Amino acid sequence: MCGIVGYIGERKAQDILLKGLKRLEYRGYDSAGVAVLNRHKISIVKRQGKLSVLSTELSGRPLAGTLGIGHTRWATHGAPSHKNAHPHRDCKGKIAVVHNGIIENYLELKKNLKKKGHKFLSETDTEILSHLVEEHYKGNLEEAVRRTVKMVKGSYAIAVIHEDEPYRIVGARCDSPLIVGLGKGENFLASDVPAILDYTHDVIYLDNHDIVTLTRGGVSVKDLSGRNMRKSPSRIKWDISQAEKAGYKHFMLKEIFEQGDVLRNMLEERIDKGRVVFNELEIPSKVFRSLKNIMIVACGTAYHAGLTGKYIIEECARIPCHVDTSSEFRYRDPVLDKNTLVVIVSQSGETADSLAALREAKRRGCKTLGICNVLGSSIAREADGVIYTHAGPEIAVASTKAYTAQLAIFYLIAIYLASLRKALTASGITSLIKEFGKCALLMNELLGEYKSEYNALAAYAQEFKRYYHAKHNKSYFLYLARNINYPNALEGALKLKEISYISAEGYPAGEMKHGPIALIDENPWVVCIATQAKTHDKMLSNMQEIKARGGIVIAMVTEGDKEIMHHNVNYVIEIPPVRELFSPLLTVIPLQLLAYYVALEFGYDIDQPRNLAKSVTVE
Annotated catalytic residues are: 2, 614
CB of 573 to ligand F6R, least distance (A): 21
CB-closest chain residue to ligand F6R: 300
Return the number of other C-beta atoms located less than 10 Å from residue 490's C-beta: 22
Phi, psi of 542 (to 5 degrees): -55, -45
Three-state DSSP state, 141: helix
CB of 377 to ligand F6R, least distance (A): 9
CB of 150 to ligand F6R, least distance (A): 29
CB of 344 to ligand F6R, least distance (A): 8
Closest CA to 189 of 197, 199, 180: 180
CB of 618 to ligand F6R, least distance (A): 11
Closest CA to 173 of 378, 380, 388: 378
Contact positions toward ligand F6R, by CB under 6 A?
Answer: 299-302, 346-348, 351, 354, 398-399, 494, 498, 615-616
CB of 346 to ligand F6R, least distance (A): 3
Contact 428, 565 (CB under 8 A): no
The DSSP string of 21-90 is: HHHHGGG--SEEEEEEEETTEEEEEEEES-HHHHHHHHHHSPPP-SEEEEEEE--SSS-SSTTTSSPEE-
Spatial separation of the C-alpha atoms in residues 491 and 556, rounded to whole Å? 15
Smaller CB distance to ligand F6R: residue 354 or 532? 354
CB of 300 to ligand F6R, least distance (A): 2
Smaller CB distance to ligand F6R: residue 43 or 325? 325
Closest CA to 291 of 365, 344, 346, 358: 365
What DSSP character marks residue 273? T
Smaller CB distance to ligand F6R: residue 258 or 498? 498
CB of 353 to ligand F6R, least distance (A): 8
Smaller CB distance to ligand F6R: residue 203 or 252? 252
Closest CA to 186 of 322, 45, 10: 10
Spatial separation of the C-alpha atoms in residues 539 and 558, rounded to whole Å? 13
Closest CA to 474 of 524, 527, 440, 414: 524
Spatial separation of the C-alpha atoms in residues 8 and 24, rounded to whole Å? 18
Return the number of other C-beta atoms located less than 10 Å from residue 355's C-beta: 25
Contact 325, 298 (CB under 8 A): yes
Smaller CB distance to ligand F6R: residue 130 or 348? 348
Burial of 85 (0-12, 13-18, 19+ CB in 10 A): buried
Residues in the chain: 619
Smaller CB distance to ligand F6R: residue 137 or 597? 597
The DSSP element (H or E) to which 295 belongs, if any, is: strand 293-298
Smaller CB distance to ligand F6R: residue 68 or 584? 584
Pick left, alpha or beta for residue 49 (phi over 0 → left; psi -120 to 50 → alpha; otherwise beta): left
Return the number of other C-beta atoms located less than 10 Å from residue 456's C-beta: 18
Spatial separation of the C-alpha atoms in residues 177 and 4, rounded to whole Å? 10
Return the number of other C-beta atoms located less than 10 Å from residue 248's C-beta: 14
Contact 577, 518 (CB under 8 A): no
CB of 177 to ligand F6R, least distance (A): 11
Spatial separation of the C-alpha atoms in residues 104 and 134, rounded to whole Å? 20
CB of 169 to ligand F6R, least distance (A): 27
Return the number of other C-beta atoms located less than 10 Å from residue 535's C-beta: 21
Task: To the nearest 10°, report the CA torsion of 152, 212, 1, 184.
Answer: 170
Smaller CB distance to ligand F6R: residue 7 or 597? 597
Smaller CB distance to ligand F6R: residue 132 or 494? 494
Smaller CB distance to ligand F6R: residue 17 or 302? 302
Question: Which residue type, as a one-letter code, is found at position 356?
Answer: A
Distances (CA, A) of 75 to 81, 101, 125: 9, 10, 11
What DSSP character marks residue 101? E
